[in-house]
A and B are shown apart, each in its own frame.
Chain A
Amino acid sequence: MFATEALTSGWFLENAWLIPLIPTVAFFVILGFGKRMPQGGSEVGIASMMASLVLAAGATYQWIQRVQSVEGGSEGALGAIRGFAGSALPSAAETGHSAAYVEPVIRHWTWWQSGGIEFTLGQHIDGLAIMVLLVVTFISLLVQVYSTEYVKGDRRYTHFFAALTLFSAGMLIMVLAESMVQFILGWEIMGLTSFLLIGHWWEDGANSRAALKAFFTVRVGDMGLLVGTAIIYFGASQWAQARGSNGFSIQAISGWALSEGADSKVLMWGAVALFIACIGKSGQFPLHTWLPDAMAGPTPVSSLLHSSTMVVAGVYLVARLYPVFFVGLDILDTGVNLVAVIGGITIIIAAALAFVQNDIKKVLAYSTVSQLGYMMMGLGVGAWTPAVFHIFTHAFFKCCLFLAAGSISHSGSHHSFDMKKDMGGLRKFMPITFATWMVSTFALCGVPFFSGFFSKDEIIDNANHNGYTVFFYVGLIGAAMTAAYMTRATYLTFFGQPRGAAAGEHHDAHDPAHAHGEEHALDEIEEHEHVAEPVLVGAAVAATQGDDGHGHGGGHDDHGHGDDGHDAHAGPHESPWRITVPLMILGTLAVFSGYLNAPAVGTEYFTEWVEPAGVVVGAEHDESGAATHTDTEEPEAFASGVFGRATPLLAAEDGEATHSGGEGCGFEGPTEGVCYAPALSHAEFKWINTVPSILLVAFGALTSLWLCLGIFGDRKNPFKGLTQRNRLAGAGHRFLVNKYYLDDLYEKVIVHSVAHPIAKAAYWVNQNIIDGVVNGAGRSTKRTGEWVYRNIDQRVVDGAVNASGLVASETGHALQPVQSGKVNQYGALLFGAAAVGAIVLVLLNV
């Protein structure tokens, strides 16, 4: 399809489209036949994820080979250039990564056609896609293995796995997307399945409300995706069609956004609209409110949703269409832009909210929101690679943290997620969970030599490097807050005195009291979600059954029943291997995944393999440009295009904070050739630059520890009970507990003010106009009908029918005597008729 002479490809790269296809097929198989399978369909899900993981790993390997083949021989660099082997090509050896643009592996098939526009499905495999594919398949596999234990015996076990598999498939479809249409397809599949999974235990109203909230909040953003796609389509269409592509192609959009002819207004509005979609999907301020409520779903779902799929989708969209945002929002050109601002706000407000949560999963949820803020901010300040790298590392340690939280509730705190009531001192009982939690917490906080350090500090460092001083400080403060709230959560969960269920107390005692407590309603359900009856009834049943409690004795067997076996020795203990093994794998990765791109130890593999180089590519040769190309233009195009323009990138690299905009690939489009990625510069890693963040993290952790010991422990501390004593502190606390009143704003103010007048007006219209029209139409129809009945139906139609019947009947009566039953008579008639016929024949022939 395109010039691959110099670039290696391979079966896995060419057939990467199989990666989402396998789980999609598996979804239907599980749905159709899962219930009849010995493992209830989970084996199909796990097998499909395993197959996808193998394919993704193969594709990763071949992609790395492809990147290296570009760097390797000089004729390989800029694989598109044929006949120019051996020329001096741009090489960024001193910066440690290649400056050559590695062409993505693009294939597509027409899905449907309309008005001359082809809507295609296909694959767009580049470093970013490969990375996310690998992470998604890997995490999904571990989560599914974990789920076989966690939701064991659930009444909708099969459907759970079906939805989980489709969820991963949706993410994979989106990641592979070659066109925006496919992107939207995957995006929406995820929206739908997240609804299914969050509301998995829908018997309780709170769960289905949370699912609806997640769905609708994200839908608000999704409007932006449709609008943005349309804007970008009309903007890019002409440019793309001239190059044999169309305005939905992601490749074409990227090229168009960085081309000279791109209208900056169109780009800006397109970028803003698309970013609204990202705000919704990635839980950015102010649409982050759905994410903590999404905790109503089973823990494996939260884990998958918050680590590698769904919430990463928004970040992925920005990273995928980075040229649109780069040019549209003037990233690097101005001191402030929408993406960075929203990201920065999200970091701080979500981290602040994490301090007042009692629910361990909600702490993690706000932490996710905050970390997504880092990713967005990173993209907003031009730190593309660190932000994408943060997706990578965050996926592992956040998944690990969630699974650890699930493990705690599964085996440690008797299905409670309340840190203050049911946890504490668990480190002795659950050593593996504790160890993996600690490792991931260190990674999340950005403790040096853990993975989060290398990604998060790079974002902060690059914000400074690119001149975004404000966001540099925002990042630092966020890092300190992260360390502080994670210290609090860790202290409450694993240290101190065991409380509630963690101390082995029976759990049912406080069930009815808390089942409908406003804040924890969603999570208390975790204990009862499985019961078909409403919570209170379930609790009552449990109470009447005495100590059997969660057994529920009866015939239906669902979540929680898995614990029947070890309910006997009530009290915290370590989880079974299907929970701990994924934890250990993820814990290990939480430490080591950072070393893929750790400048501190001199590795830059991630930059090399994932980042698309911002250099001009000979337009006439790449895949989308084949249409307009004639061979004779080649030499000039390259002389002025590639060689003349790729060098400024290097200048930007070694100069200190020189913005690359305006040179190479940036705001001024190239006159010849095409850019597919903006040229970005990287901050050079220096230990001295990490000192502030390390100090702040240490400060945050120590302060928090001191406060925790004082407030939750036994030590004397002046801050103990501060929120009760000091009115200001109390107000602040209440403000945070109420989540900045954003939910109230949305539900009471916006929905109320918008919906009520509209509802009233709609009711009036309904009563007076629509009903009038309907009634009038009904009445006139009735009259017409009656007239028709009287005149046409009764007289004409019935008359005709009766008349024909009468005629037939009379004829029959008249002919009845002929049917005497006598054979002789019949014979006589026969011969008589034959004779008459013969006579007629004779007469006629004479």
Chain B
Amino acid sequence: MYAVNFLLLSAALFCIGVFGVIARRNAVMVLMSIELILNSVNLNLVAFALMNNDVDGHIFALFVIAVAAAEVGVGLAMVLMIYRNRRSIALDELSEMKG
């Protein structure tokens, strides 16, 4: 078992996630992409923890999962509110933050 297998998988997931964040217009899809990124990181953490026989990585991964769940909760709530106000969740229409 090589660490490189895990790393390649997580790198692939990460890239898909980044692509999703940048390219998707749908806010829910962006949130899901963020989940992908976080999970790729989790995969890395668990992989290295296994390699090094260290339990810290596992625990850290558990924390990341918990935080991700909370983050998705907040994110979905925001999306819901945006949808109620604008009848749309297309991110490219939300440009109020333009400087």
CA distance A79 to B92 in the complex (A): 106
Question: How far apart are B86's CB and chain A's nearest CB, in angstroms?
Answer: 14
- Please tell me if A828 contacts chain B, counting CB pairs below 8 Å: yes
* Cβ 8 A contact of A821, one of B22, B25, B99: B99
Which A residues lie within 8 Å of B22 (CB)?
824, 827-828, 831
- Please tell me if B91 contacts chain A, counting CB pairs below 8 Å: yes
Of residues 1 through 53 on chain B, the ones whose CB sits less than 8 Å from some CB of chain A are 18, 21-25, 30
Complex contact A821–B98 (CB within 8 A)? yes
Question: How far apart are A97's CB and chain B's nearest CB, in angstroms?
Answer: 99
CA distance A499 to B73 in the complex (A): 105
- Please tell me if A726 contacts chain B, counting CB pairs below 8 Å: no
With CB as the reference atom, state the residue of chain B lying closest to A835: B18
What is the 8 Å Cβ interface bit string for chain A, positions 815-832, against chain B (1 contact, 0 not)?
110111111100110010
Which A residues lie within 8 Å of B99 (CB)?
815-816, 818-819, 821
CA distance A822 to B21 in the complex (A): 12
What is the 8 Å Cβ interface bit string for chain A, positions 790-820, against chain B (1 contact, 0 not)?
0000000000000000000000000110111
Which B residues lie within 8 Å of A827 (CB)?
18, 21-22, 30
Which A residues lie within 8 Å of B25 (CB)?
824
Of residues 486 through 522 on chain A, the ones whose CB sits less than 8 Å from some CB of chain B are none
Complex contact A820–B21 (CB within 8 A)? no
Which B residues lie within 8 Å of A815 (CB)?
99
Complex contact B92–A822 (CB within 8 A)? yes
What is the 8 Å Cβ interface bit string for chain B, positions 55-99, against chain A (1 contact, 0 not)?
000000000000000000000000000000000000110111111
Complex contact B91–A820 (CB within 8 A)? no
CA distance A819 to B96 in the complex (A): 10
Question: How far apart are B29's CB and chain A's nearest CB, in angstroms?
Answer: 11
Question: How far apart are B96's CB and chain A's nearest CB, in angstroms?
Answer: 6
Complex contact B98–A824 (CB within 8 A)? no
Question: How far apart are A816's CB and chain B's nearest CB, in angstroms?
Answer: 6
Which A residues lie within 8 Å of B92 (CB)?
822, 824
Which A residues lie within 8 Å of B21 (CB)?
824, 827, 831
Complex contact B91–A823 (CB within 8 A)? yes
Q: Quick one: which of A815, A822, A823 has the most chain B CB within 10 A?
A: A823
Which B residues lie within 8 Å of A823 (CB)?
30, 91, 94
Question: How far apart are A155's CB and chain B's nearest CB, in angstroms?
Answer: 68
Which A residues lie within 8 Å of B23 (CB)?
824
Q: Quick one: which of A815, A828, A831 has the most chain B CB within 10 A?
A: A831
Which B residues lie within 8 Å of A821 (CB)?
94-99
With CB as the reference atom, state the residue of chain B lying closest to A830: B21
With CB as the reference atom, state the residue of chain B lying closest to A819: B99
With CB as the reference atom, state the residue of chain A lying closest to B37: A831
Question: How far apart are A122's CB and chain B's nearest CB, in angstroms?
Answer: 73
CA distance A821 to B95 in the complex (A): 4
Which B residues lie within 8 Å of A818 (CB)?
99
With CB as the reference atom, state the residue of chain B lying closest to A829: B22
Of residues 822 through 846 on chain A, the ones whose CB sits less than 8 Å from some CB of chain B are 822-824, 827-828, 831
What is the 8 Å Cβ interface bit string for chain A, positions 261-273, against chain B (1 contact, 0 not)?
0000000000000
Which A residues lie within 8 Å of B96 (CB)?
821
CA distance A822 to B99 in the complex (A): 10
Complex contact B97–A819 (CB within 8 A)? yes
Complex contact B18–A820 (CB within 8 A)? no
CA distance A818 to B98 in the complex (A): 9
CA distance A824 to B22 in the complex (A): 5
CA distance A827 to B21 in the complex (A): 7
Complex contact B18–A822 (CB within 8 A)? no
Complex contact B97–A824 (CB within 8 A)? no
CA distance A444 to B24 in the complex (A): 116
Which B residues lie within 8 Å of A828 (CB)?
22
CA distance A434 to B98 in the complex (A): 100
Which A residues lie within 8 Å of B95 (CB)?
820-822
Question: How far apart are A566's CB and chain B's nearest CB, in angstroms?
Answer: 85
CA distance A189 to B30 in the complex (A): 84
CA distance A828 to B96 in the complex (A): 18
CA distance A827 to B91 in the complex (A): 12
Which A residues lie within 8 Å of B97 (CB)?
819, 821
CA distance A815 to B96 in the complex (A): 17
With CB as the reference atom, state the residue of chain B lying closest to A817: B99
With CB as the reference atom, state the residue of chain A lying closest to B15: A831
Question: How far apart are A676's CB and chain B's nearest CB, in angstroms?
Answer: 89
With CB as the reference atom, state the residue of chain B lying closest to A823: B91
Question: How far apart are A809's CB and chain B's nearest CB, in angstroms?
Answer: 14
CA distance A648 to B74 in the complex (A): 109
With CB as the reference atom, state the residue of chain B lying closest to A815: B99
Question: How far apart are A390's CB and chain B's nearest CB, in angstroms?
Answer: 96
CA distance A821 to B22 in the complex (A): 13
CA distance A815 to B98 in the complex (A): 12
With CB as the reference atom, state the residue of chain A lying closest to B94: A823
CA distance A364 to B94 in the complex (A): 99
Complex contact B91–A819 (CB within 8 A)? no
Complex contact A831–B18 (CB within 8 A)? yes
Complex contact B98–A819 (CB within 8 A)? yes
Question: How far apart are B65's CB and chain A's nearest CB, in angstroms?
Answer: 22
CA distance A480 to B91 in the complex (A): 118
CA distance A823 to B34 in the complex (A): 13
Complex contact A824–B91 (CB within 8 A)? yes
What is the 8 Å Cβ interface bit string for chain A, positions 693-716, against chain B (1 contact, 0 not)?
000000000000000000000000
Which A residues lie within 8 Å of B24 (CB)?
824
Which B residues lie within 8 Å of A831 (CB)?
18, 21-22
CA distance A818 to B99 in the complex (A): 8
Which A residues lie within 8 Å of B94 (CB)?
821-823
CA distance A828 to B23 in the complex (A): 9
Which A residues lie within 8 Å of B98 (CB)?
819-821
Q: Quick one: which of A816, A818, A819, A827 has the most chain B CB within 10 A?
A: A827
CA distance A816 to B18 in the complex (A): 24
CA distance A321 to B24 in the complex (A): 104
With CB as the reference atom, state the residue of chain A lying closest to B97: A821
CA distance A824 to B99 in the complex (A): 15
Of residues 603 through 643 on chain A, the ones whose CB sits less than 8 Å from some CB of chain B are none
Which A residues lie within 8 Å of B30 (CB)?
823-824, 827
CA distance A816 to B21 in the complex (A): 22
CA distance A819 to B98 in the complex (A): 5
What is the 8 Å Cβ interface bit string for chain A, positions 505-547, against chain B (1 contact, 0 not)?
0000000000000000000000000000000000000000000
CA distance A828 to B20 in the complex (A): 10
CA distance A819 to B92 in the complex (A): 13
Question: How far apart are A818's CB and chain B's nearest CB, in angstroms?
Answer: 8
CA distance A831 to B25 in the complex (A): 17
CA distance A831 to B40 in the complex (A): 15
With CB as the reference atom, state the residue of chain B lying closest to A812: B99
With CB as the reference atom, state the residue of chain A lying closest to B14: A831
Question: How far apart are B89's CB and chain A's nearest CB, in angstroms?
Answer: 11
With CB as the reference atom, state the residue of chain B lying closest to A820: B98
Of residues 231 through 259 on chain A, the ones whose CB sits less than 8 Å from some CB of chain B are none
With CB as the reference atom, state the residue of chain A lying closest to B22: A828
Question: How far apart are B10's CB and chain A's nearest CB, in angstroms?
Answer: 14
CA distance A768 to B37 in the complex (A): 88
Question: How far apart are B71's CB and chain A's nearest CB, in angstroms?
Answer: 15
CA distance A402 to B8 in the complex (A): 114
Question: How far apart are B74's CB and chain A's nearest CB, in angstroms?
Answer: 15
With CB as the reference atom, state the residue of chain A lying closest to B92: A822
CA distance A831 to B15 in the complex (A): 10
With CB as the reference atom, state the residue of chain A lying closest to B34: A827
Which A residues lie within 8 Å of B18 (CB)?
827, 831
With CB as the reference atom, state the residue of chain B lying closest to A828: B22
CA distance A141 to B75 in the complex (A): 83
13 A-B pairs (CB sep. < 8 Å): A819-B98, A820-B98, A821-B96, A821-B97, A822-B91, A822-B92, A824-B23, A824-B24, A824-B91, A827-B30, A828-B22, A831-B21, A831-B22
Given A821-B98, A824-B22, A827-B22, 5 further pairs, Cβ under 8 A: A820-B95, A821-B97, A822-B95, A824-B23, A824-B30
The 9 closest A-B pairs by CB, nearest first: A819-B99, A821-B98, A821-B95, A821-B97, A827-B21, A828-B22, A823-B91, A831-B18, A824-B22
